[in-house]
Chain A
Amino acid sequence: MFGRQRLVTVPTKIAQVGGLLRMLQTIRKFVIDNYLFGEEGTLSDEDSFMETGIIDSTGILELVRFLESTYTIKVTDEELIPDNLDSVSKIASFILMKQSASRQTAQERSTRLSEETRA
């Protein structure tokens, strides 16, 4: 039983980690291409955009457009805060959180629909 669970879980975890790495890579490439003019330098995934001064308010607008079109999400005004967007890793966590919330909403909607159909 335990062995079977591992067989199901490990590939899922690997896929999740792979997805996260790809996401970090994509966001990082966008930041480097758009704000560092393709010069990677020493930017780490944890570096604060505000402290390093690489993104100004117009840059945030461009970043939001990129995230909304790449990950098919809608960033609300309330979500436009440094906790969500101030580094490559914060952006990735934010996107994961948005995607997970969106999946949960879709699942709840589908459950509700099937309950209504049964009723």
Chain B
Amino acid sequence: MKPHGAASSDLLRLDAEGETERITSWIRETVFHTLRRKGAVIAVSGGIDSSVVAFLCARALGNERILLLFMPEADSSPHSLQLGRMVADALNAKSVLEDISPILTGAECYRRRDDSIRLVVPEYGPGYKCKIVLPGLLDAGRYAIFSVVVQSPDGKMTKVRLTPDAYLGIVAATNFKQRTRKMMEYYYADLLQYAVAGTPNLLEYDQGFFVKNGDGAADFKPIAHLYKSQVYQLAAHLGVPEDILHRPPTTDTYTLEQSQEEFYFTLPYEQMDLCLYGKDHGISASDLARASGMTEDLVDRAYHMIEAKRKVAKYLHAPSMTID
């Protein structure tokens, strides 16, 4: 099986060694001199982005100056923790396991989410699993409207379009997860006088695929300038474990397996990368379609979607407003 990123276009080919050098010296300068912190805390999810950030920080600061945090909760896949431990083992780095389920239960994250799901699926209850999904980008030109997919204890799957109350309720409740993790990261950062590393890649950062003051918050974000396929190239160069390289990107936020594509991007990340590159480099939809093998219609829709998501991301990126 080919690792992710292997099929990415030459447009996004990276000088992995040169880029690693550039990023690691930036991390050293930023953490030690700009932020004046003694090391870095990295929340490791078992996914490609946080693994690459952990490897970069270890190389930049030394493995004795990084702390890896594993923060599973009741809905996390157990596989994520296994993958996270592989990163810690490969780097011989300190790590801490913090199960955040009790905090989330205390905040009534699960109860609030389930109440919101019951607004559209009244029978939803114990033993059920769920996720929220978007239609594909080419799904008859429809608006990107979320539906909830639930699986009953006997395995029956149901998909229901969300009402605004249900959608906002589910999202607001599940955002407790990212914000709780960030709170824990800053606990250790305060304890050790470390800086908190953020792990978004360019697609996530640009398109607003993060929770404001949750995974969107960090002291430094060393791969926020890299397309997802470039992150995979760096991962292969840095020696990130094969199991992580081959894992499909997932949100690991809902009880049913949920890809990033169905939750947010509506296109596979290789195509999203190319469309974002094309849009930002003034490449027309027809030229990009010819060069990439996508249809012009698909590229055109992706260009519109990128613009629409950027508008939504504006609020997510905005710092607290003050009067000049």
Contacts and interface: CB of A to CB of B under 8 A. Distances in A.
- Interface band, chain B: 10 to 19
Interface residues of A, number: 16
B142 A61 contact: no
B162 A56 contact: no
B308 A81 contact: no
Interface in A78-112: 78, 80-82, 85
Given A61-B167, A81-B142, A81-B143, A56 B161 contact: no
B145 interface: yes
Contacts, number: 42
B258 to A, nearest CB: 17
B225 interface: no
Contacts of A62: 164
A53 B311 contact: yes
A80 B164 contact: no
B144 A57 contact: yes
Contact of A80 (B143, B308, B311, B312): B143
Interface string B205-238: 0000000000000000000000000000000000
Interface string A70-82: 0000000110111
A56 B142 contact: no
Contacts of A80: 142-143, 145
B145 A78 contact: no
B145 A50 contact: no
Given A77-B142, A81-B140, A61 B311 contact: no
Interface of B: 135, 140-146, 161-164, 167-168, 304, 308, 311-312
